[in-house]
Structure 1
Amino acid sequence: MTSFLQKVKVVWMVAVLSPITLVCGILCATSLWFDRSGQYYHFVSQVWCRSILWAGFVKVQLTGGEKIKWDDTFIIVSNHQSHFDPAVLRPNLHNNHRYLAKMELAKIPVLGWALKYGDDVLIDRFKRAEAAKGLDATEQKLREGKSVVIFAEGTRSEDGVMRPFKRGAFTLAMKTGLPILPVTVMESYKIMPKGKFIMNGGEVKVIVHDPIDTASFMTQANGEAALNELTFNTIAAPFHHSSQPAPAAV
């Protein structure tokens, strides 16, 4: 893209998304004052995310979306390719879900307000006691019947290659007995590469896999590790049939 077109795109996105972000951010941050269920929060955040997709000229190719119903409660585990992933998933996962997000995002103006005072869960990854509180809060959301999306790699991939998954999602699965819903996100690292904050436009692929029942893993001595491996391999499988780099081994 030429320098001129890049500048035009920046102006377009700032002009369109600034007012939408301000309004939606404030509505999300204050929504729990009058709707403790979080459904209004979820609706407004969907509108916000759809606006981001539209303004960035991004299309989403969704496969398996019919496997999710509004009242289903899952621990949704996804790979993580860019800052853009939550905007892709929120309007395309058709159930009542929340995000487990890193505490650093609370420092971002407007978005941080929505995350801090809204219905998603923030976690401090670098303080063990605070991280434990974040997982406890996540468990509470699950017990309220809300699904939670967890990017199990713990950070974004710089090149699209999947990294080994952290334990958090699988510890929660073993503790609650809730099924894991594996989700694969492909090509989003090209839309917004790590370190960049302007979207390139294009198409992102989202694949919703069959849920994984955790019951059989709960009776195994190494059940958590086995569940982690199965989930990783399920999410990684589509990459072996695409032009994207293959995931790193578990």
Structure 2
Amino acid sequence: MRTLSFGRLIYLVYLFTIALPILLVITGLSSVLLIIASYVGVPAAFISQVTKFWSWSCLTLTLCRVEVRGREHLPQRGSACVVVANHQSAYDICALNACIGIPFKWVMKADLRRMPLVGRACEASGFIFVDETRVSSITHTIEDAKRVLSTGNSIFIFPEGSRTETGRMIRFKKGAFVMASELDVPILPVTIDGAFAVLPRGCSIPHRHRIVLTIHPAFHMSEQGTPPAHIPASARLAQQIIASALPEEA
């Protein structure tokens, strides 16, 4: 039987007596605020601030610090892009939403829409849902993405499709790059390192750990050849760029 260290024991006591109860209240209130906001037509900036506050709360209350490198590579205000990153854990969403510093909307699996309250809040926030079981879903997703871009927001996708089970990055799917090609916007690669140590897949209790976000220079898919060959080429390039800022074991 694995023995808990004294530090881990203190952290767990803090989590269950202070952090998680507060976070549960913040999650509920934030979800309700977002749903109400979608009906009364408040500015989009308010919705962004609410989601950012929720993400910041998750990180702060669980004592996870985020370091951001490469901010100089972020697009200028008004310049939209498709942001792609490796997917280490559920904490990826918190770290990116709280710290990346550009307005964007997530592309999420349609299954997440069914989450009580939170799924409705994500829909109210204007996030994009995609049903991977339906071929026609990509057409609707691209139309939704065009709407998002017209509001000045970028789009965020995890090309792996799901969280890693081992901590190692898996092959990127092509959906994000098909979308970027259709929308004619650049790809912005971001590396996430440390989130797997915070909350590995299958684990429900977080660990205190630092997360590092590395923002790489954006690239245009047209630089990777002519359609449709530029799609797999861009997927490979993005994966190589993201992997370059990960330790060898990841």
Same fold (TM over 0.5): yes
1:87-102 paired onto structure 2 within 5 Å: 87-102=94-109
Tell me the alpha carbon deviations over residues 132-165 of structure 1, each in whole angstroms, 9 at most, x when there is no partner: 4233312331243310110000000012211111
Q: Give the whole-Å Cα distance in 2 for the aligned partners of 1:67 and 1:181.
A: 9
CA distance 1:55–1:63, change in 2 (3 Å): same
SS at match of 2:210: strand
Instruction: Give yes or no for the alignment of 1:118 onto 2:118.
Output: no
Q: Percent identity?
A: 23
Q: Does 1:61 align with 2:67?
A: yes
1:70–1:94 contact (8 Å) kept in structure 2: no
1:37–1:67 distance in 2 versus 1, CA, 3 Å = farther
1:222 aligns with 2:229: yes
Structure 2 equivalent of residue 41 of structure 1: 47
* Secondary structure of 1:58 counterpart: coil
When the two structures are aligned, how many residues end up with a matched partner?
243
Residue 197 of structure 1 aligns with which residue?
204
With structure 2 as the length reference, what TM-score do the two structures score?
0.89
Given the alignment of the two structures, is residue 32 of structure 1 paired with residue 38 of structure 2, yes or no? yes
Change (3 A) 1:10 1:132: farther
Report runs of 4+ in structure 1 exceeding 4 Å deviation.
none
> Amino acid of the residue matched to residue 93 of structure 2?
P
- Cα offset, 1:220, TM superposition: 4.8
- Residue 86 of structure 2 is aligned with which of 69, 79, 104? 79
Secondary structure of residue in 1 paired with 2:136: helix
SS class of match (1:238) = coil
Shift of 1:192: 0.7
> Post-superposition shift, 1:37?
5.4
Q: Is the 8 A contact 1:184 1:207 kept in 2?
A: yes
State whether residues 124 and 130 of structure 1, in contact with CA within 8 Å, keep that contact through their aligned partners in structure 2.
yes
Distance 1:72 1:30 in 2: 29
Please give the alpha-carbon distance, in whole angstroms, between the structure 2 residues aligned to 1:169 and 1:109: 27
Alignment-mate amino acid for residue 222 of structure 2: A
Q: Compared with structure 1, are the counterparts of its residues 57 and 42 closer, same or farther at alpha carbon in structure 2 (3 Å cutoff)?
A: same
- Residue 168 of structure 1 pairs with residue 175 of structure 2: yes
Taking structure 1 as reference, are residues 40 and 63 closer, same or farther at Cα in structure 2, changes over 3 Å only?
Answer: same
Aligned counterparts of 1:61 and 1:175: Cα–Cα separation in 2: 33
Worse overlay, 124-133 or 97-106: 124-133
Amino acid at match of 2:218: P
One-letter identity of the residue aligned with 1:174 = S
* Structure 1: runs of 5 or more not aligned: none
In structure 2, do the counterparts of structure 1 residues 30 and 215 end up closer, same or farther at CA, with 3 Å as the change threshold? Answer: farther
| 8 Å Cα contact 2:221-2:231 kept in structure 1 | no
The two structures have a TM-score, normalised by structure 1, of 0.89
Cα distance, 1:37–1:137 mapped onto 2, change above 3 Å: farther
Worse-superposed segment, 26-35 or 167-176: 26-35
Closer, same or farther: CA 108–11 of 1 in aligned 2, 3 Å: farther
Contact 2:193–2:211 (8 Å) recurs in 1? yes
Unaligned residue ranges in structure 2 (runs of 5+): none
Give the CA deviation at 1:118.
2.0
1:204 CA displacement: 0.4
Structure 2 Cα separation of the partners of residues 174 and 37 of structure 1: 29
The answer (yes or no) to whether the contact 2:68–2:100 under 8 Å persists in 1 is: no
Deviations 1:5-57 (A, max 9, x none): 42442232322101111111111223233446522211110011001100110
Amino acid at match of 1:245: E
